[in-house]
Amino acid sequence: MIEFPKPYADAVARLRVPSGFLIVIVFAWFSRPTPESMAIGIPISLLGLALRAWAAGCLAKNQQLATGGPYSYTRNPLYIGTLLVAAGLAIASRSPGLAALFAVVFLLVYLPVIQNEEQHLRKIFPEYAAYAERVPALFPRWTPIPERNPNPFRAALYLKNQEYQAGLGFLAGMLFLLWKMLG
């Protein structure tokens, strides 16, 4: 993975939410949805939301290393879910420029955030190094790692991690695309 300077990674970690709002504005301005683009993009985004929901429900942040559920396939299922949601929105919006913008943001924002988070996890969980050797950062394994602590999905964790906000944001984006398509 690309190594980013720590000050840069720290800055983008703080700016990723505001940059998300900027992307939404660009998304709104340049979208040209059609029924066909929506029919292709929405299921991709829903798959990403489902992955994010599953991951958030298995994640007890800073309390226990998540190694089960989707974390037994990839170390970063939340970010893969985000990538799928963004790809679905880009397809639904029929904007090649938006797809390119999402790709750039993922490379310049999410990769440094992943780097920062991995450094943090290595500090607080001594077993993280062994886990990282067995599970890829982004591209998932075909089979899950066998794990004694499977981190089962818990609705309480899903709510505590406020993952429902991603679903609400997706719903707002889809309603906007529908309005733009019909208007």
Residue ranges of the domains in the chain? 6-182
pLDDT at 55: 96
pLDDT at 131: 95
Place of tokens 């991951």: 55
The DSSP secondary structure of 28-94, one letter per residue, reads: HHH----HHHHHHHHHHHHHHHHHHHHHHTT--TTTS---SGGGGT-S-HHHHHHHHHHHHHHHHHT
34-50 pLDDT, tens per residue? 999 999 999 999 999 99
Within the chain, which residues score under 50 in pLDDT?
none
- CATH code given to domain 6-182: 1.20.120.1630
Q: How far apart are CA 140 and CA 127, in angstroms?
A: 20
Q: What Cα–Cα distance (Å) separates residue 72 from each residue in 75, 146, 147, 183?
A: 7, 8, 8, 44
Identity of residue 9: A
